[in-house]
Amino acid sequence: MNFIIVGCGRVGAELCYHLFKSGHQVVVVDIDKESFNRLHPEFRGRTLEGEGLAEGVLERAGIHEADGLAAVTNSDTLNAVVAHAARTIYNIPNVVARNYDPNLRVVIEAFGLQTVGSTSWGAQRVEELMMNPTQRVVYSAGNGEVEVYEVRIPEEWDGHPLGKLLEPLEQCYPVALSRAGRSCLPAHEMQLQTGDLLNFSSTFEGMRAMMARLSRKAV
């Protein structure tokens, strides 16, 4: 596939290398040619010096043949406008814009774009790890508003049905339950066993409620 990355900062350079390693054709655009020094030595994609909104730059980057574009500069406004142009003018199917300042996230969302806010997401992940070191995130959607968590069932809940664990929780939905290396789609009547790994989809508030529930003995 053909991808255009606008912005060759630390995020852009890392993204370029990951896409290249996966076998894709990558063109990276940046107004500062010195930024290309951040690219991995093994990167063999194409670099293009220029401002993402300057006339003809996206065309020279191959926008008409591109399958996706990521705008990951440190300017939220530039990211929003470039991504919006890629989607509405050039009809690029996969467009993602980086959100640098949480206060400006609404600017990007106003365009209806998929966004990745590293600041907001990173802060939430640090909070989760500090508050709940016994659980881990296996999938994060959007900017972390909804995630899939994995928790280990403690001895206090051995032999109790999954439904009893979930009944008072309004923002937790079971995704999978793994036991002895095998996973299944869990039903509410399924009996839990000590050591089971439960994956559930939830908001951060729902996850905190789940952890509090697991810490109490079932009655």
CATH of the domain at 141: 3.30.70.1450
Which tokens belong to 125?
A: 């992940």
Which tokens belong to 212?
A: 């509090």
Q: Which of 202, 197, 171 is nearest to 186 (CA)?
A: 197
DSSP code at position 8: -
Q: Which residue has the tokens 């095998």?
A: 182
Looking at residue 52, its pLDDT comes to 87
Mean pLDDT of 126-141: 70
Mean pLDDT of 24-37: 96
3-state secondary structure of 49: strand
Looking at residue 208, its pLDDT comes to 86
Domain boundary among 93, 120, 147: 120
Shared domain check, 136 and 93:
no
Is pLDDT of 125 > 70?
A: no
Looking at residue 126, its pLDDT comes to 74
- Position 69: which residue type? L
Within a domain: 164: yes
Shared domain check, 103 and 11:
yes
Q: How many structural domains compose the chain?
A: 2
Which tokens belong to 154?
A: 């403690």
